[in-house]
């Protein structure tokens, strides 16, 4: 199962909205087939592993991280091929929380007289698939809030101007995240202040640029913003309200920006409606990159599923410098999950106490 989990990881960032799945076929103590789900719409891990094993699959054991599917989607049910292959035993890490499966795959295998064991390294598999588990059970994206801060929680220079807070290693990790998540979400104030391009910059091939989402209730985004000028090359969505000027919206749309008009809450984009609509678009994961007001709103409303902080060993100070949150009413308990060094910066991963996933 450990090997299957490692195989599953090879598909990270490419299977959405499907889960990460790895599979290994073992016979007489030897691995005779292995596979992982590489991309949505392509064969599932079990199918690849069984076909790799060929005739050796008969009377063998299949180890698979997630319960085999039993429904027709973009691919046929995995249970059918498992049964026809002659596999005699299936060991599963996690029962698929998808309401269309959720134990039905196990039932079909058992009806075919296949021995089934479940729950092996279950918490580890659930942690690996935390994005899928959240999305498939709620139809709302998994939200990772990312922030690069100083010791005193600042995200700008002491004069309030944009500045690099953390080191090159930390910034490279951020681009690794962008290469695996479906979308980046940012507020228009950050666009106006920093003019970021929000793409993925790594020295390798086959990079993925996530959907860029700008929350902008009144369409204040400059037409010269980098995200607007590159909207025809990199998917870009403006989340706005009926208060946005129609002519500006028309211009943005012609420049390649997708427009999503949403209900407003006290004049601001209703964030719950935004997440619901993104879920309908099969956006399973989002990196929330601020700024401070948006961070505060997401935390206060309970929409943050995980936080990652890059903490630089410096104090910035200054009355004009900005903190990563602005709302003093925000009060949420988090639990640290991982803490490590990134070439001098401190990298902290944490979960809200209410929905922490603990790895077994």
Instruction: Determine contact, residues 207/308, Cβ cutoff 8 Å.
Output: no
Known catalytic residue at 46: yes
> And the tokens for 164?
């690099």
d(CA 178, CA 127): 19
**Residue 150 preceded by cis peptide, ω within 30:** no
d(CA 329, CA 331): 6
By three-state DSSP, how is residue 97 classified?
coil
> And the tokens for 24?
């290994």
d(CA 46, CA 146): 34
Which residues are paired to 261 by β-bridges? 240
Q: How many CA atoms are closer than 13 Å to the CA of 111, on its beta-carbon side?
A: 9
Query: What string of DSSP letters covers 238-269?
Result: EEE-TTS-HHHHHHHHHTT-EEEE--EETTEE
Instruction: Determine contact, residues 96/332, Cβ cutoff 8 Å.
Output: no
Catalytic residue among 34, 42, 46, 282: 46
| Residue 297, H or E segment | helix 292-300
d(CA 260, CA 341): 39
Residues assigned a catalytic role: 46
């Amino acid at each position: 199962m450990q090997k299957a989990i490692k195989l599953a990881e090879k598909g990270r960032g490419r299977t959405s909205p499907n889960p990460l799945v790895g599979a290994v076929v073992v016979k007489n103590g030897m691995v005779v087939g292995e596979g992982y789900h590489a991309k949505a719409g392509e064969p599932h891990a079990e199918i690849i592993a069984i076909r790799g094993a060929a005739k050796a699959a008969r009377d063998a054991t299949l180890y698979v991280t997630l319960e085999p599917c039993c429904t027709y989607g973009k691919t046929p049910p995995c249970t059918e091929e498992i049964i026809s292959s002659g596999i005699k035993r299936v060991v599963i890490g996690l029962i698929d929380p998808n309401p269309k499966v959720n134990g039905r795959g196990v039932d079909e295998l058992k009806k075919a007289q296949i021995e089934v064991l479940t729950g092996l390294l279950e918490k580890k598999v659930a942690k690996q698939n935390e994005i899928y588990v959240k999305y498939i059970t709620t139809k709302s994206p998994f939200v990772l809030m990312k922030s690069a801060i100083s010791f005193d929680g600042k995200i700008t220079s002491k004069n309030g101007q944009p500045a690099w807070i953390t080191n090159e290693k930390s910034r490279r990790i951020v681009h690794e995240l962008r290469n695996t998540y479906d979308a980046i979400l940012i507020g228009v104030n950050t666009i106006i202040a920093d003019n970021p391009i929000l793409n993925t910059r790594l020295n390798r091939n086959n990079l993925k640029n996530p959907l860029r989402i700008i929350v902008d209730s009144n369409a204040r985004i400059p037409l010269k913003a980098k995200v607007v000028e590159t909207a025809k090359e990199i998917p870009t969505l403006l989340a706005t309200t009926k208060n946005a000027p129609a002519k500006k919206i028309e211009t943005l749309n012609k420049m390649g920006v997708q427009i999503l008009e949403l209900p407003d809450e006290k004049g601001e984009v209703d964030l719950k409606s935004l997440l619901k609509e993104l879920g309908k678009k099969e956006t399973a994961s989002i990196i929330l990159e601020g700024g401070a007001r948006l961070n505060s709103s997401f935390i206060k409303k309970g929409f943050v599923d995980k936080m990652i902080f890059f903490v630089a060993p410096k104090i910035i100070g200054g009355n004009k410098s900005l903190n990563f949150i602005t709302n003093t009413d925000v009060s949420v308990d988090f639990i640290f999950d991982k803490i490590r060094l990134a070439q001098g910066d401190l990298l902290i991963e944490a979960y809200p106490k209410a929905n922490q996933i603990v790895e077994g």
